[in-house]
A and B are shown apart, each in its own frame.
Chain A
């Protein structure tokens, strides 16, 4: 490809490395020349180099998505290390696990070719996870969405998101057309969607409800050629929303704190106002890593990490995160559009929407553009389940893009 001079995949990778070096070097100084910081940084950098080289060397399809995800992880880990070194180290371990899971899901998805036949499996597994959460779950911050066993806890709703997408893809790729009893697959998907949402209402996990429902609506828009079904669902959603607002105290509180968080700063509006204080004190370039006080924000390591980014790396840093997510979404959309197998197309679309919507909901919530619903910011927030599930999604998208490139006779390669 000599015709494309300067098509150098290494330059952004070098910048990523530089970011890591400077970032961890700075934290090294901050923590009183604590060598652990350098080990942590070196570990993360090694991990990135390892993952990225395998992708490039084995020609595993798209080379940008993982690179951008690495940048997001870098920003996230830098802040986590700065907030609490322990969180940072745990996060890096999760990233390492995520890397393994990434390649595993890549290989599994690439080689198994009957995903589109497994709709019943997805539905039953999803329902099972929900039931398990309801029975075994523990309540954290008012949402009953954690399962703990043996000192190890995870959020099943993160996994059900992927199952849900794969289930939708079964129908919308046209692979699932046999009715179950007298219910056609279209109504079956509708039923399962509302069943899942019902479970999530019981768990009070409003963020995930929004994500699942938005994915469902967008899928309907893309695949149903008439608008009737979409409008019907929208109607149902608004009805439920209005009823929820009338009768559920939780939702009323969320809306009222969104409209005027200043009315009750020390109580209901505490989280969001602390987040706004952080963003407001960051200005354009931020106060500098370690100079701010993101510690005042509750849940700063998970849901509110975006506010911490804005405080310490500035509004420009925050905007950069949004841009990175947009670029990831753009690449994934491109893969979805060029994918030839309908099932791959639908899965890729669903996963892309998952990233995009999740980012929009939490970032919009943290900056008070929309009512706040707790949900993690993919790749940046602290959280094992979130990191692993996001890596699984990336692995699947990577596999789809690799299939597509190889089908093209190696033409799309390097």
Chain B
């Protein structure tokens, strides 16, 4: 038995262990990833214990439409804008970095325009300050149209 044969036979166990640790690591990550995704996507489950509402996307001719979700969930509070740090990121050129804020307080849902350049229109009316939202209100941000749902 040469030195190399011995070394290599020992290494064969290491290789097996490493490959399976790798597989295990990937499976674990995939599992966590799927779990995480389901928390955001599963609309029936409200994990946060907070009031929920939703913005339903309406079809429009904007070029960004293909990247829109059908419905954005809001758990108690949501910042909406173009920035990645927002709770709901909308990549559309007429939307400001931080465009509006929607939150729940004392049984009411509020919307506040954060000084966006192109403004926010609710049911055809441009707003400048905080308003209370009702179900089925139409919200327009830039060129995107949503319906507020409870």
Asked if A291 contacts B37 (CB within 8 A), the reply is: no
Known contacts A288-B8, A289-B8, A323-B23: A403-B67 contact under CB 8 Å: yes
Asked if B66 contacts A26 (CB within 8 A), the reply is: no
Asked if A29 contacts B7 (CB within 8 A), the reply is: yes
How many A residues are at the interface, by size bracket?
Answer: 35 or more
14 further A-B pairs in the complex, CB-CB below 8 A; given A7-B32, A7-B33, A407-B68: A4-B32, A6-B32, A16-B22, A19-B18, A64-B33, A288-B11, A312-B12, A317-B19, A320-B19, A320-B23, A323-B23, A327-B23, A408-B69, A409-B89
Question: Counting CB contacts under 8 A, is A89 at the interface?
Answer: no
| Chain B 3-19 interface 0/1 with A at a Cβ cutoff of 8 Å (1 = within) | 01101111111111011
Question: Counting CB contacts under 8 A, is A221 at the interface?
Answer: no
Asked if B32 contacts A410 (CB within 8 A), the reply is: no
Chain B residues lying within 8 Å of A22, measured Cβ to Cβ, are 11, 14-15, 18
Known contacts A291-B8, A313-B12, A406-B91: A7-B67 contact under CB 8 Å: no
How many B residues are at the interface, by size bracket?
Answer: 35 or more
Question: Counting CB contacts under 8 A, is B90 at the interface?
Answer: yes
How distant is the Cα of A320 from the Cα of B24 in the complex, in angstroms? 11
Interface of B is mostly: helix
Asked if B89 contacts A320 (CB within 8 A), the reply is: no
Smallest CB–CB gap between A146 and chain B, Å? 33
Asked if A314 contacts B12 (CB within 8 A), the reply is: yes
Question: Counting CB contacts under 8 A, is B84 at the interface?
Answer: yes
How distant is the Cα of A1 from the Cα of B37 in the complex, in angstroms? 12
Chain A's closest residue to B27 (CB) is A327
Q: Which residues of A contact B (CB under 8 A)?
A: 1, 4, 6-7, 9, 11-12, 15-16, 18-19, 22-23, 26, 29-30, 64, 67-68, 71, 75, 285-291, 312-314, 316-317, 320, 323-324, 327, 330-331, 334, 341, 403, 406-413
How distant is the Cα of A327 from the Cα of B20 in the complex, in angstroms? 13
Chain B residues lying within 8 Å of A68, measured Cβ to Cβ, are 26
Chain B residues lying within 8 Å of A403, measured Cβ to Cβ, are 67
Asked if B89 contacts A12 (CB within 8 A), the reply is: no
Asked if B16 contacts A320 (CB within 8 A), the reply is: yes
Contacts A/B (CB < 8 Å), 10 sampled: A7-B33, A22-B14, A26-B7, A64-B33, A71-B22, A285-B12, A320-B20, A410-B84, A411-B40, A412-B40
Smallest CB–CB gap between B39 and chain A, Å? 9
Q: Which residues of B contact A (CB under 8 A)?
A: 4-5, 7-16, 18-23, 25-27, 29-30, 32-37, 40, 66-69, 72, 84, 88-91
How distant is the Cα of A15 from the Cα of B16 in the complex, in angstroms? 12
Asked if B21 contacts A15 (CB within 8 A), the reply is: yes
**Out of A12, A23, A407, which one reaches B15, CB within 8 Å?**
A23
Known contacts A15-B22, A409-B72: A285-B16 contact under CB 8 Å: yes
Asked if A19 contacts B22 (CB within 8 A), the reply is: yes
How distant is the Cα of A11 from the Cα of B18 in the complex, in angstroms? 11
Asked if A406 contacts B67 (CB within 8 A), the reply is: yes
Asked if A287 contacts B20 (CB within 8 A), the reply is: no
Chain A residues lying within 8 Å of B34, measured Cβ to Cβ, are 334
Chain B residues lying within 8 Å of A287, measured Cβ to Cβ, are 8-9, 12
